[in-house]
Amino acid sequence: MKKIKFNDGWTFQNLLKHSEPVEVRLPHDAMQTEKRLVNMKNGAAAGFFPGGKYQYTKHFGADSAWKDKSVLIEFEGIYQNSTVILNGKKIGGWVYGYSGFVLDISRNLILDAENELTVIADNSRTPNSRWYTGSGIYRNVNLYIGAPSHISVDGIEAVTKRVDYKNQCAYVSVTTKVNDVTGCELQITLWDDNKNKVAEASGIHTEMIVPHVKLWSDEHPYLYTLKAELRRNGKVVDQEAILFGIRELRWSAERGLLVNNESVKLRGGCIHHDNGILGSCAYDGIEERKIKLLKEAGFNAIRSAHNPASKALLTACDKYGMYVMDEAFDQWRFMKVDYDYSIYFEKYYEEDVSAMIRKDISHPSVIMYSIGNEIGDTGSDEGAVWNRILVDICHKLDASRPVINCINPVVSMMGGRKSKCSPQDSVNPYEETKNAQATASLLANIIVTVVPFVQKMMGKPKKVEKKLKACFDELDIVGLNYAENCYEPHHAYDPKRIMLGSETYPHSMAERWKLVEAHPYVIGDFMWTAMDYLGEAGVGVPIYGKAKGGFNRPYPCVSGGCGAINLLGQKETEMYAAAIAWKKYKKPYIAVRPVNHSGEKYFLGMWRDTDAVHSWSWPGCQGKNAQIEIYSIGTEVELFQNGESLGRKKLEFCKASYETIYQMGRLKAVSYDEKGNKIDEDELISAGDETRLCVKAEKEVLTADGEDMTFVLVSLTDAAGIVKMLSDRQIRVSVLGNGILRAIGNGNPVTEEAFDGDSYHSWMGQMGFYVQSTEEEGTIVIDVSAKGTEAEQIILQTKRR
């Protein structure tokens, strides 16, 4: 079928505020149009953004040539409780905000006339999530036009059945779902990246042998093109093509996770679905940017926490070689917040799991399905039954991948209860309440408080197994959240069990990774979290002046503040620490605790190990005590200040700490191996007096399709390009020509500034923004200015493909 992006030409309005329609282009996050509320119930969880009820409308013509054609519309994701109306008649919708769905609109079209398509997204029943969800049509919409006999959307299901390593060939099973196959034949062909046909077969259910096979993995993400042609009387009536990677998965406690018969340890990171200052919008290019950044940082795996990933994200993972744990749910029957998915679970769980697997099955990057995250039900007999039901659905639909449940033994021991709320309740999402902050974080604070006590119990398998063995035994892989203490004692209890650190604190990565490397039955570690995200506000935000703190932070905190990569996509110290523990970063890395907070009490919380940054530029801090952390591979490091050695220190779990008095100048760290030989060095230099604007776009040429986008980083630097940490100021941005300023912000998790303006304050000397192309060829002129500096201009090009 012919696929058409259906993202342009929409109008949007807020139904609860009776706003006038405004033109928008999808993906669109309606939550970003809302004013943040200081006393919103569960406000910290959502970054203090309220939900709402929204209407999207698109008028389009239906050509007379569409007569006797099948016309389908695909919504890749609408948050949430959507209703789709065509020409005044309801034609469908979906409850779960993370499932894509397809509707046949053929019979409701008016040919040779204007048609009206309306989508209602009802996210008014809040709170319904523990994180920032976004609202509205936040993923792509696609239109498909083709013959009545056609290949279904996501209709090609290709799975590697077996690899014959001796003969260098692979057996690939292909099932093609076809609407009305009567009188038709199906031809399947496989093409390499040089456009040579390497294999072929025929039939709805078929198997092909691929000779001289090139296998897909994280290190070699080779992709073939798989084509399906539907023919009637020799004539092609429909065709579809997908990129497909051939790879074999095996798993056992004795050998761990094998990809193409080679052992793989998952250097994993948990991610939420939002894209930082862009809100929840799943732009194709930005989902790709996210995966590219993560891969370059050292990750080889992501966990889509705690909902199914977008199509664009999986496509990027296929391209760059990123393994994926795609996760279905954050709740089953027991609630976490009033109006979460638990009130829909029993009615819709099967269709939502099926939608996830249908989306994932042909993506080589997806290597396991997660049926839940920290599900309180798992500690009960009924929960064990539901665990088995979900595992069975996954195995029935796709037996080629293992099934995991990400279990937090603390949550399982605590159990839970069903919500007293109903999907029919009328809720005012803008209602504010007294002591909202305490309400939002009460349960989380309780869990954090009891964790140290419960962790001691985790090392005693009999107590945990009494509650959870029924669930454990049904799973291919047992995911353990914050429970590395379980690895060795639980292996002794059940030597056949495969385990995975499905969610872990950012600290102690080097210590945990030694466990992962030492034991084949522990296949990896997924740190919380790989990238900062909106909502769960402040779980990793430092508090200065206090030695204690809670789970969340009050308004105006907007993000978790716990990402190894921040809201703009910049690596933080914890990212380098992890990459060094994985031996993916070979240089030493110097990090300095904020010298402007020298001597103050501070509280980092459970989800941040350090507040140190890669800078030796602290104006006004002369003579203050400076705490320095050095992360490195090797055995020892040596720190030099202005050429003078501060001594050698042994590395303990890849880290050594120093204290000195801050003076402008240079810091240099040198790393050494066990024989005393130099490995490498890192250096920090204090910034000079002059302040300049440095403006750098990640891409200089954009596709003129109205969809392409680039990120632009703005730094306040000295003449040598060294970022000036404490020289922050408001920076104004103007975008002219064939571009649109799509979002603007910085990496600060605490802010009252909106992401949809044309100016923003820098933070730690930097800020950034996204520019999107129009459909016109030409140039984009970007002017950047700030008080006390000379304005800068850059020019980008836009070209049609």
Domain locations in the chain? 2-146, 150-244, 264-398+407-423+436-568, 586-685, 692-799
Give yes or no for residue 461 having a pLDDT over 90.
no
What is the per-residue pLDDT across 188-214, written as a single tens digit (0 to 9) for each? 999 999 999 999 999 999 999 999 999
What is the per-residue pLDDT across 699-710, written as a single tens digit (0 to 9) for each? 999 999 999 999
Mean pLDDT of the chain: 95
What is the per-residue pLDDT across 64-75, written as a single tens digit (0 to 9) for each? 999 999 999 999
Give yes or no for residue 24 having a pLDDT over 60.
yes
pLDDT at 440: 47
pLDDT grade for 439, boundaries at 50, 70 and 90: very low
CATH code for 264-398+407-423+436-568?
3.20.20.80
Tell which CATH architecture fits domain 586-685.
Sandwich (2.60)
**Mean pLDDT for the stretch of residues 608-624:** 97
Paired tokens of 375 = 């599900």
**Mean pLDDT for the stretch of residues 407-417:** 91
Q: CA-CA-CA-CA torsion for 297, 303, 307, 309, nearest 10 degrees?
A: 60
CATH code for 150-244?
2.60.40.10
Does the domain formed by 2-146 have CATH 2.60.120.260? yes
Q: Which DSSP string corresponds to 513-565?
A: HHHHHH-TTEEEEEES-SB--BSSTTTT--EES-S---SS--TTB-B----SB
Give counts: helices (H), strands (E), the chain: 10, 46
User: Does the predicted TM-score (pTM) go above 0.95?
Assistant: yes
Asked if 586-685 and 692-799 have one fold, the answer is yes
Nearest to 277 by CA among 734, 773, 754, 731: 754
Query: H or E element: which one contains 317?
Result: helix 311-320
pLDDT at 399: 97
**Mean pLDDT for the stretch of residues 309-330:** 98
pLDDT grade for 455, boundaries at 50, 70 and 90: low
473 residue type, one letter:
D
Looking at domain 692-799, its CATH superfamily turns out to be: Immunoglobulins (2.60.40.10)
pLDDT grade for 180, boundaries at 50, 70 and 90: confident
Give yes or no for residue 566 having a pLDDT over 60.
yes
Give yes or no for residue 437 having a pLDDT over 60.
no
**Mean pLDDT for the stretch of residues 77-90:** 98
Beta strands 366-373; 403-407: pairing state: parallel
What is the per-residue pLDDT across 467-476, written as a single tens digit (0 to 9) for each? 999 999 999 9
Nearest to 767 by CA among 718, 720, 716: 716
pLDDT at 413: 87
Burial code of 413-445, b = ≥16 C-beta within 10 A, e = fewer?
A: bbebeebebeeeeebebbeeeeebbebbbebbe
What is the per-residue pLDDT across 246-272, written as a single tens digit (0 to 9) for each? 999 999 999 999 999 999 999 999 999
435 residue type, one letter:
N
pLDDT at 552: 86
* Proportion of the chain above pLDDT 70, given as a percent: 97
Nearest to 576 by CA among 654, 689, 479, 495: 654
Paired tokens of 114 = 């204007």
Give yes or no for residue 290 having a pLDDT over 90.
yes
| Cis-peptide into 127, omega within 30 deg | yes
Query: How buried is 263 (Cβ within 10 angstroms: 0-12 exposed, 13-18 middle, 19+ buried)?
Result: exposed
